[in-house]
Amino acid sequence: MNGPDRALDETRSLVVPALRKAVDRLDPQLRKVVAYHLGWVDEHGDPTVEDGGKAVRPTLALAGARAVGADPSAVVAGAVAVELVHNFSLVHDDIMDRDVTRRHRPTVWSIWGEPTAILAGDAMASLAREVVLEDTGTGAPRAALMLERATRTLIHGQVQDMEFEERGTVPLAECEAMSTRKTSSLLAASTVIGALLADADRDLVRPLWSYGIHVGLAFQLIDDVLGIWGDPKVTGKSNHSDLRAKKKSLPMTWALEQGSADADRLRAWLTTGGTTESEIASAVDALDRLRAKDWAEHRAADLVDAAKNDLDGTALVRDAVDELCELADFICARKA
């Protein structure tokens, strides 16, 4: 087992029991819905083989704590909180995108309906605040305030993402700014929340935050690549989901700025084209001719390098820095 896989497994063993304890606070109906979304039970409430996601955010939280010399077991509340906020956003995102599959199973709203899914997401967001504020350490207020601001920023990014769907064109720089809000804000919050709970000095927190911003944008780029070119058997999501929704993803936005016949074809398809299998295939062909996937992967790799540079030469604990660098590489290389 390589370093990132070992770190992710160690995180699950430490964080999942605390996450389950938090979810147990919910009323029976929402508890079952949230447990289903997290991969712990089926739609009837019967236990399943767990498939609750990659645990990237809580792993970053524990690694960030180690980087400032703190004991990861003392900041589990932060790891639980960022995982809850992440899953709150996923449940709501599935409703807005009309996605019916996540992690190889039907989405929450497609089983229980939109009102229940909205409440399940809200419950997870509320639990996230609870578990941080209940932490008895002196850093809890800083951590809670930071997480609230990151959540608000995430929501701002989601609002912009929806607004982009109504616009004919979106500049790449504006799309990157939206993705930084929607994705990077929570990745950065995840990277620093353990350090904040440990009441670390601001000079140590600052490079961790910058690392998280860069890694978050790389994460979104790879997510966009998988949304267009990913194998649904691996990703657990519908094939070409972003194209069917005509999302202004980062690869698409970049492609539209290339000033070629293929870019013009994509622009026309986004405006008036359909989403039949042949029309989607034609859009993918145009993106392939423009080498949009190559651009996105190279841009993600550059951002990972920037994230590593953020940590270089700092007073952070070296072994933890190495772990964070390995996690950045893992995020850029992932297939799901």
Taking the C-alpha atoms of residue 66 and residue 132, their distance in angstroms, rounded to an integer, is 18
Which residues have CB under 8 Å from 312's CB, separation 6+? none
Written as one letter, the residue type at 20 is: R
> From CA 316, how far away is CA 242, in angstroms rounded?
38
Opening angle at CA 126, ends 72 and 152, nearest 5: 90
Q: What is the CA radius of gyration of the chain?
A: 20
DSSP 33-71: HHHHHTTSB-TTS-B--------HHHHHHHHHHHHTT--
DSSP bridge partners of 47: 41
State the DSSP string of 135-172. Answer: --STTHHHHHHHHHHHHHHHHHHHHHHHHHTT-S---H
Q: Which residue type sits at 282?
A: S
CB 190 within 8 A of CB 82: yes
Query: What pLDDT is recorded for position 49?
Result: 81
Count Cβ neighbours within 10 Å for each residue of 242-257 and write b for 16 or more, e otherwise. bbbbbbbbbbbbbbbe
Residue 155 CA to residue 138 CA, distance in Å, equals 28
Please state, in angstroms and rounded to a whole number, the distance separating the CA atoms of residues 168 and 270: 8
Residue range 101-156, pLDDT digits in tens: 998 899 999 999 999 999 999 999 999 999 999 999 999 999 999 999 999 999 99
Whether the model pTM is above 0.75: yes
Cβ atoms of 332 and 218 within 8 Å: the answer is: yes
DSSP state of 26: S
Cβ neighbours, 10 Å, residue 283:
24
- The answer to whether residues 130 and 21 touch, using CB atoms and an 8 Å cutoff, is no
Closest CA to 297 of 266, 254, 333, 258: 333
DSSP state string for 228-275? HH--HHHH-S-TTHHHHTT---HHHHHHHTS-SHHHHHHHHHHHH---
Name which CATH class applies to 3-333: mainly alpha
Domain borders along the chain are 3-333
Tokens at 208, concatenated: 């961790």
| CB-facing half-sphere around the CA of 150: CA atoms within 13 A | 29
pLDDT along the chain (336 residues), means of 10: 83 95 97 97 91 87 98 97 98 94 94 98 98 95 97 97 89 97 98 98 98 98 92 78 88 96 96 94 97 98 98 97 96 84
Cα-flanking dihedrals φ and ψ of residue 108, to 5°? Answer: -60, -50
Q: What is the pLDDT of residue 241?
A: 77
| Inter-helix orientation angle 202-229/185-197, to 10° | 150
The single-letter DSSP state of residue 27 is -
